[in-house]
A = this chain, B = another copy of it.
Amino acid sequence: MPTKIPGYDYGSVVHSPVLMNHLRSLEQAADFSEEDVKWLRAAGPVLASQAERIVDSWRTRIADHPDMMRVFFGPNGEPDDSYKAAVKKRFVQWVVDSCERPHDQQWLDYQDEIGKRHTPAKKNAAEHTYTPPVVPLRFLIAFSAVVATTIRPFLESSGRDASEIQRMQDAWTKSMLLQLALWSRPYVSETLW
């Protein structure tokens, strides 16, 4: 049993206002199917064993980007290292969860929680920190391009053949963009979401 990750409240957050039938509609929009679930499960152990390295590679890119890096800054204008470290553990767990968790009510609820933790609704709440109140939506979307396109070498280390790697990557991209659609909810008014 792994140590509990602070602030990782999977299974114990409030219900998402998004209903399960809305999730199914979104899954269909993203063409996320049972086939994708199968390939995510196949990718799970491969990515789980490298999850920290994967997140480190993303964090390096964020550190090189002054506008994105700012979301970690405390009131003194310096990175809040304890916030950064706490969020990183959940980010690593997110890689694993994206492959392994079924898309049930708990999953749906936690997607909304993740979205809120990027907006004034709940950013800083888990660690009682004073970093900027939002990860701007434009960076969340733009950076998803990195999350989609940099996963491939990590999948290739599985030694699977190219067509299987491709299916795992497609499933990863669909899962990530489906989640991004759910995370965008607290950013926009109900009529536009």
Contacts and interface: CB of A to CB of B under 8 A. Distances in A.
A146 interface: yes
Given A181-B138, A192-B187, A25 B174 contact: no
How many identical chains are in the complex? 2
Interface string A38-66: 00000000000000000000000100010
B141 A180 contact: yes
A88 B170 CA distance: 25
Contacts of A30: 142-143, 145-146
A82 interface: no
A26 B140 CA distance: 10
Contacts of A89: none
Contact of A178 (B31, B142, B177): B142
A153 to B, nearest CB: 11
A22 to B, nearest CB: 8
A165 to B, nearest CB: 10
A134 B193 CA distance: 9
A157 interface: no
Which of A61, A145, A162, A173 has its CB near the most chain B CB atoms (within 10 A)?
A145
Interface residues of A, number: 46
Contacts of A137: 181, 184, 188, 192-193
B138 A182 contact: yes
Interface string A19-39: 000000111111110000000
Contact of A26 (B27, B139, B184): B139
A134 B192 contact: yes
20 contacts: A26-B139, A27-B142, A28-B65, A29-B67, A29-B139, A30-B142, A30-B143, A30-B146, A31-B145, A119-B192, A134-B191, A136-B193, A137-B192, A138-B185, A141-B177, A141-B180, A142-B178, A162-B162, A187-B188, A187-B192
